Structure 1
């Protein structure tokens, strides 16, 4: 994505699915001070010494998200079924918004983003999905990420796989984009999030319309 075209965009509107708990990106120091004692109390005694390191990594990650135009960040818990087995899948959801330059056809915006992915040799499943308003660029991939070192947690023999989805929504005039990103360390459950992410992308508005007291939409 061309860095010289990314400037903070105006407020957008989006429908956040049920099952997600927002992690505020405002006063992160206060958040860590509040969360620290609760997390320490809730974990087994033999890993409590690692809580400060985990909180430090979480603070760094959230601060990085906030610095990169993330407007919403949340953790979701959803029941997932594979064959006859039902379990809980955990996912991380973020929504970002950017100004993207001069007015033009939104399809030209997506074309440029596709060329950028090709130039950076991004590997994954890519598709342009038509919605009632604008086309959406859908990109899906699985990557391995090095797990943070936690003394009391056994190290894995191999880096864990993370299933990721990115849906990019241009505004009708091509001057702004919104990006919905989902990650889960449960690759088997990942494909079940495809429809949800595309529904979110289709719900994006630039800018957010006047609030409706009966609406579940979220202004970001």
Structure 2
């Protein structure tokens, strides 16, 4: 009948209209769009973006040596250049199941609250993990050389024929204020070459001269020596 035909046409129209309605899968904030009413779009076309701004997730590499002391739930802070001097407190929410064989690090995911939606997706953030104060060896950043997956320094070794530059493999830790933490490889008060490393070769003889009150010395070839110390 005409009524049934009209009802079928109405149902078909409502179904087509339903296919044209986009429903957000979660509550969030819409980004910009270049699509205007009446524009023809193809399946898979990006119309806009939708972001949940209530919280922020940050993924960062965590060296494997810290896995034993930084479990899921460990507190940390983050900063961004957009808001200098401000810190955001968060926690580690997830640790990846695998360690990267090249970097010897695991990807950690941290979650931070985002009141006012100030932090935006894609922003660069610096993550700091607080372990409390500890004593450890530290050397100037310029003294540490990197090769492949490892790091090394030149330690000044003294023998019967004088001082020589001895290459020593080290395990590094935190970097702060121009100094690199040395987890292993050096002993307290070991003397190392801190500059002019392009002129130094393993086993090369060096002469330390002009030592000053700060414990630094000028070495042959323009290199400078300093001591591994516990700050």
The TM-score bracket by the shorter chain reads: under 0.3
Normalising by the residue count of structure 1, what TM-score does the alignment of the two structures yield? Answer: 0.20
Q: Which has the higher strand share?
A: 2
TM-score, with normalisation over the residues of structure 2? 0.19
Q: Which one has a larger percent helix, Structure 1 or Structure 2? A: 1
